């Protein structure tokens, strides 16, 4: 299929709802081409009707299976300009409550899946010396939270991987960023996207129950508009703002405020402890 040299080709994971859906629509509105994926492509009927190419893609598939899917995706338009690793969910539970399988599944989707997809896409981008990779992180990647320690740690990991990749790929003309949204009014806090650990330990209830109750109350009342957020993401990844993409890109007024608070808190703690901990060098330094 022939496309213009100015339009971009996007591959976005987890497009059946939320940011995946809205990013697909925002990119299509620009005249770009989008390969929208989901584990069940039947859930992408609306996006197909709006002009997206839809494909089945499960980020937890084997490397071999993902390479075949990405090769098929590249063949559609001849290239992939922008990859957005959007698949993810929240595992709710105190750290001790979460089973080994639940922990693995959390990281398998949020971290290992993103890694597997980008590793399948990167050979094609390297060959062209061009591309953008965006991993969908979270403000949870800046601070641990009660009842969501595994989710937060997965987003910490994704941020660190994005920063490392940025340094490795910059000289090859490939940009990398970790987009870190605050709370947007999607279905991310609903059942199916927020999965509760099967084991509940009574000793933790006093700490975890208020958090769960707060998230329930916040569901569908989040401040962020996903349509506006998706538009900013697409414009940023397209280079519309004339700014070099940062390694970590906050999204939402609450995200900016939250991250600023974490940075300030970290600086205060660092300065408090610095006189005690910095005098540990060898005598010959």
d(CA 179, CA 116) in angstroms, rounded, equals 18
d(CA 117, CA 147) in angstroms, rounded, equals 28
User: Could you confirm whether 204 is annotated as catalytic?
Assistant: no
92 CB-contact burial (10 Å; exposed 0-12 / middle 13-18 / buried 19+): buried
SS3 34: strand
Contact in structure between 122 and 79 (CB atoms under 8 Å): no
Output DSSP code: residue 184.
B
Tokens for 237, please give them: 């990844």
Residue with tokens 């929208």: 36
Contact in structure between 31 and 48 (CB atoms under 8 Å): no
d(CA 75, CA 87) in angstroms, rounded, equals 23
| Phi, then psi, of 177 in degrees rounded to 5 | -145, 155
The CA-atom distances, in angstroms, between 87 and each of 12, 78, 133, 177, 188 are: 9, 24, 14, 15, 11
Kindly name the residue from 89, 151, 183, 218 that is annotated as catalytic: 151
> What amino acid positions are annotated as catalytic residues?
151
């Amino acid at each position: 299929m022939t496309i213009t040299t100015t339009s971009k080709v996007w591959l976005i994971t987890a497009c059946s709802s939320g940011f995946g859906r809205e990013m697909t629509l925002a990119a299509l509105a620009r005249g770009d081409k989008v390969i929208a994926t989901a584990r069940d492509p039947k859930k992408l009927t609306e996006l197909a009707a709006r002009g997206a190419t839809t494909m089945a893609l499960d980020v937890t598939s084997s490397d071999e299976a993902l390479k075949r899917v990405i090769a098929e995706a590249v063949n559609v338009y001849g290239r992939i300009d922008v990859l957005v690793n959007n698949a993810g969910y929240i595992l709710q539970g105190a750290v001790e409550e979460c089973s080994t399988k639940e922990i693995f599944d959390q990281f398998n989707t949020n971290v290992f899946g993103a890694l597997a997809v980008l590793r399948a896409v990167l050979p094609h981008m390297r060959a062209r010396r061009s591309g953008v990779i965006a991993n969908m992180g979270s403000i949870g990647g800046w601070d641990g939270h009660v009842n969501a320690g595994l989710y937060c740690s997965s987003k910490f990991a994704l941020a660190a991987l994005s920063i490392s990749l940025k340094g490795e790929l910059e000289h090859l003309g490939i940009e990398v960023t970790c987009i870190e949204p605050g709370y947007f009014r999607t279905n991310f806090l609903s059942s199916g996207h927020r999965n509760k650990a099967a084991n509940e330990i009574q000793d933790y209830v006093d700490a975890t129950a208020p958090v769960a109750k707060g998230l329930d109350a916040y569901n569908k009342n989040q401040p962020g508009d996903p349509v506006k957020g998706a538009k900013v993401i697409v414009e940023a990844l397209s280079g519309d703002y004339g700014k070099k993409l940062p390694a970590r890109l906050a999204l939402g007024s609450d995200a900016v405020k939250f991250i600023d608070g974490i940075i300030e808190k970290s600086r205060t703690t660092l300065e408090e402890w610095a006189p005690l901990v910095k005098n540990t060098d060898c005598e010959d330094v």
